[in-house]
Chains A and B, each alone.
Chain A
Amino acid sequence: MVNPEVELEVKLDAKLEVKNLRFRYNGFELLASLGVKKGEILTLLGPNGSGKTTMLKCIYGILKPKAPCVYLDGEDIHSMSLKDRAKKIGYVPQIHHPSFPYTVLEFVVMGRASQIQVFDSPSEEDYKMAMNALKLVGIVDLADKPYTQISGGQLQLALVARALVQNPEVILFDEPTAHLDFKNKIKISNIIRKITLSKKTATILTLHDPNLAGMYSDKIVLIKGGRIYSAGKPEKVLNGKVLSDVYEMKVRVVDVDSFKLIIPDQTY
C-alpha cells in the first residue's frame, strides 16, 4: 500500500532520514520510510492506534527496531551514545510525570545534562541559555516558580524550552497539542513553527487534528495500521477521499480563504 511517491521524496537531501523502518509490536508491524529537511515541519497524522507515537519513539530510539534505519546526516542514530544523541536530537514527550518541585529554570537547565560532566553543575552560560529558551517560548516570568504548580499548557512550553537548550538539530514532538485548550494549541504550534524556522531544525510532530496539521506542516505523513497511507505536501495529502479512507468516515475538505478546512460527517 506504500505510495511510490513517498520513496521519491526520501531521496531529497534530508537532514533526518528514515529508511525502511520495520518494527513489530502488539501483533502488528510498523513500516515506514521518510525524510525531513532543515527548517521543515513533518507531521505524522493518523487515527488512535495507527502507530504515530510508536513510530516517533522508533525514530528517536526509545523503542529500538532490529536493523539500523534512522540516519542523521547519514549517521545511524540508534548506535550513537545517549549523550551524543541528546546533543543532536531533542524529544518533547507527551506526558511528563512530575517530580520534586524544582523551579521552572532549574527544570529547563536539565536540558543541558548531555553537555555537563558528571562531576559538574550548570554554568552561568547554561542558565543564560535556559533563560533565553524561556523567553523564546514566552514563559520567562515563570522562571522562579515551582514547575509542579504551573498549568498544563505552561508545562508543555517548559518541556519545549528544555528541549531547546539541548541545541538540537532535530526536534521530535509527541502530540504537543494534546490536553491543551484551543488557544494554547495555536500558541504552541506557532512556537514550534518559530523554532523550526529560526533554529533551522528538522522537526517531526505527531498530531491528532488534521486541520492543525494542514495549517502548520510542510509535509504530512498519513498513517493507518502502522503503514504510510499517503505522504507529501498538505494540499496533496489532505483530500476528502484519502482522509475518508484513513479515518473510516466521510470527510469533506472545503477551501476557506487560503487554507483547507476539513469537516467530518456528523452522523458518525
Chain B
Amino acid sequence: MKREIILSFFLLFPIFAFLLSLCIGVYKIPLLAIIKIIVAKTVEIATFGKFSFDLNSYPTAYQTVLLQIRLPRIITAMLVGSALAISGAVLQATFRNPLVDSYIVGISAGAAFGAALAIGFFPASIELTAFIFAMIAMTLTYSLAKIKGRVTVISLILAGIIINAFFSALTSMLKFLMEHEKLAAVVYWLMGSFNGADWNVVSRIAIPIILGSLAIFLMRWHLNVLSMGEEAQILGIDVGKMRLIYISIVSFITAISVAHCGIIGWVGLIMPHIVRMAFGPDHKTLIPLSIAIGAGFMVLADDVARALTTFEIPIGIVTTLLGIPFFVYLLRKTGGEW
C-alpha cells in the first residue's frame, strides 16, 4: 500500500510540475485565465478543432505568453530532464558505477565542443557533430579508465575529469577564435539554459529524445543483467556489444539535449538514485520512474532559474548547486566502491 502511494506520487509529480510551471513567470496571468486557456486549447486539439472557445475576453498577451513562451519551454525542460535522467541510469548500470552520469564521464563536454564547432565555424548539423564528439569523448574516457583490463569506480571518474578538461579547453579555444556576435550566444548557451526554447527547438529535440528514450525503456530489463559486469557473458549476454548499444543511445539523447540547451550537469546523477532509494535498483521500475522525476525536477529547477530573481540564472548553475551536496553524500555513503 505504501509502495503504491509513493509510486503514484512519482508518476503525478511531472504533471504537477507541468501545471505549476505554466503559472510561474514574470508576466502575471490570473490562475482562472490560465485554466480556461489550457482547457480550451486541450479540447480544441482533442476534437481536431471542431469545438473552439471564445477567449477574446482576455488580452492576447495571455495566450502568447502561455502558448508561445512558457509551454514550449516547459516541454523542452521536461524532454531534456528525462533524457539526462535516463542517461544517468543507463551509464550507472553499464559501468556498474553509482557515481557517473553523462556529465561526469565527459559525454556532455564532448557534445558541447561538437556543437560549438558547428555553430561557430562550419555549417554542419549541430546535433550530428555533437553526437560524434560525444561518442569520441566517451571512448576516450573509457580507454583512459581501463587500467590492466579493469575499469574501477574511481578510475572512470578520474578519466572523466581529464576528458572534461580536455574538451573544455578545446571549446575555450573555439570561443577565443569566434566572432564576437556569436561568442555571446555560445557562452550563454554553454552554461545551460532553456531561455531559447521555442516551438522550433521542441520540434528538433522531441522526436530524437522520445525515440531514444523509448528504445531504452523497451530494453530496460537487460540493464539489470549488464550491471553484473563481465560476468553477464555467462548468462548469455554479449557484454561489449550491449554496452555499445546502450551507450550510443544515451550519448545520442545527451548530445541532442546539449546541442540545444547546453551543459546541464548532475541531474542525470541524482534522479536514478532518488528512485533507487524509494523503489530499489530493478531497472524495470527505475527507468520509467527516472523519466518521470527527471522531467518534473528539470521544470521545477527551471522555474527557480527564471523566477527566483529579476534576471535569469542559467539552469546549469542551479542543478550544479543542487547536485554537488548530493554527490558528496553518495561518495561518503559508498566510499567510492561497492
Contacts and interface: CB of A to CB of B under 8 A. Distances in A.
Interface of A: 60, 62, 82-87, 90-91, 93, 96-103, 106, 110-111, 113-114, 116, 118-122, 146, 148, 162, 166
A62 B233 contact: yes
A99 B229 contact: yes
A93 B224 contact: no
B233 A82 contact: yes
B238 A110 contact: no
Contact of B236 (A83, A120, A146): A83
A146 B284 CA distance: 16
B231 A121 contact: no
Nearest to A144: B280
Given A99-B227, A99-B228, A100-B227, A116 B221 contact: yes
B285 to A, nearest CB: 11
A100 B236 contact: no
16 contacts: A83-B236, A84-B236, A93-B234, A97-B338, A99-B229, A100-B227, A101-B281, A102-B224, A102-B281, A110-B224, A110-B228, A113-B237, A114-B236, A118-B222, A162-B235, A166-B236
A148 B227 CA distance: 14
**What 7 A-B pairs are tightest by C-beta distance, nearest first?**
A114-B236, A86-B236, A100-B281, A121-B221, A113-B235, A91-B234, A83-B236
Interface string B228-253: 11011111111000000000000000
A85 B237 CA distance: 10
Nearest to B93: A100
Contacts of A96: 231
A106 B229 contact: no
Given A99-B338, A110-B228, A118-B219, A87 B282 contact: no
Nearest to A97: B229
Given A99-B227, A99-B229, A118-B219, 19 more contacts: A62-B233, A62-B234, A82-B233, A83-B236, A86-B234, A87-B236, A99-B96, A100-B227, A102-B282, A103-B282, A106-B282, A110-B224, A113-B225, A113-B232, A114-B236, A114-B237, A121-B220, A121-B221, A148-B338
Interface string B261-291: 0000000000000001000111010000000
B125 to A, nearest CB: 29
A101 B280 CA distance: 7
A97 B231 contact: yes
Contacts, number: 75
A60 B234 CA distance: 9
B114 to A, nearest CB: 29
B218 interface: yes
Given A93-B231, A116-B221, A120-B221, A100 B238 contact: no
A234 B221 CA distance: 45
A113 B236 contact: yes
Contacts of B276: 100
Contacts of A111: 235
A57 to B, nearest CB: 10
Contacts of B227: 99-100
Nearest to A148: B338
A85 B238 CA distance: 12
Interface residues of B, number: 27
Contacts of B221: 116, 120-122
Nearest to A165: B235
Contacts of A87: 236
Interface string B5-44: 0000000000000000000000000000000000000000
Contacts of A83: 236
Most chain B CB within 10 A, of A97, A100, A103, A111, is at A100
A114 B222 CA distance: 10
Contacts of B237: 82, 113-114
B219 A86 contact: no
A116 B242 CA distance: 14
Contacts of A162: 235
A130 B212 CA distance: 31
A159 B222 CA distance: 18
Contacts of B234: 60, 62, 86, 90-91, 93
Contacts of B231: 93, 96-97
Nearest to B239: A82
Contacts of B232: 113
Contacts of A60: 234
Nearest to B233: A82
B233 to A, nearest CB: 6
Contacts of B281: 100-102
Given A62-B234, A93-B231, A113-B222, A98 B338 contact: yes
B224 A82 contact: no
A82 B231 CA distance: 12
A221 to B, nearest CB: 22
A46 B277 CA distance: 46
A161 to B, nearest CB: 13
A224 B118 CA distance: 63
A86 B276 CA distance: 29
A102 to B, nearest CB: 6
Nearest to A109: B224
Interface string B126-165: 0000000000000000000000000000000000000000
Contacts of B93: 100
Nearest to A159: B231
Contacts of B222: 113, 116, 118
A91 B221 CA distance: 21
Most chain B CB within 10 A, of A91, A96, A98, A119, is at A119
